[in-house]
Amino acid sequence: MKRVIHFVLLLAAAWIVMTLTHESGHIIGGMVCGATLTDFQLAPWRLPYSVHSPDPHPLITLWAGPLFGVVAPLTLAALIRKRWAWLIADFCLVANGGYLALAWISGDRFLDTPRLLDAGANPATIVLYCIVTIVAGYVWFRSDCIHFLTPSPPDEKQDSPAD
């Protein structure tokens, strides 16, 4: 039971990291390219968003979210070098790629993929991003899940949150 609680807490942390890094990427991307941030929401229990107007380079602002949303967690995991940090980073890979894929399917004009396409993004770049992040993220995240949810033999030390 302790293992499951630990895993659920890691998933909650992963969700928070994913939403914050993805939306922070949009905000940073907008700042870098001279966009004016007019509204934003970063609370992870709601759908985070940021609105830039005017936005002279919407492709930069829009791509910065999913790119920073995977680069920041992967960089932090590489620096921390703990299995729990990799689980969070791998979740961010799957979630960012899955989000762009599902946003494309839904066609909701307020989601990133339709906005990327409207701003002139090449559909092949979105497909490539989705394939790379979903496939790599799935393989690594699955391994993380197995690691954290498989009972270890009684004589082996369990991973603690500090590991």
pLDDT in tens, 18-49: 999 999 999 999 999 999 999 999 998 898 99
Q: Where are the domains of the chain?
A: 2-149
- Residue-level pLDDT at 157: 53
Give DSSP secondary structure letters for the chain. Answer: -HHHHHHHHHHHHHHHHHHHHHHHHHHHHHHHTTPPEEEEE--TTS--EEEESS-S-HHHHHHHHHHHHHHHHHHHHHHH--HHHHHHHHHHHHHHHHHHHHHHHH--TTSHHHHHHHTT--HHHHHHHHHHHHHHHHHHHHHHHHHHHSPPPTTSPPPPTT-
Instruction: For residue 153, name the pLDDT band (cuts at 50, 70, 90).
Output: confident
pLDDT of residue 120: 98
Residue 158 has a pLDDT of 55
Residues 74, 49: contact at Cβ < 8 Å? Answer: no
pLDDT band at 156 (very low <50, low <70, confident <90, very high): low
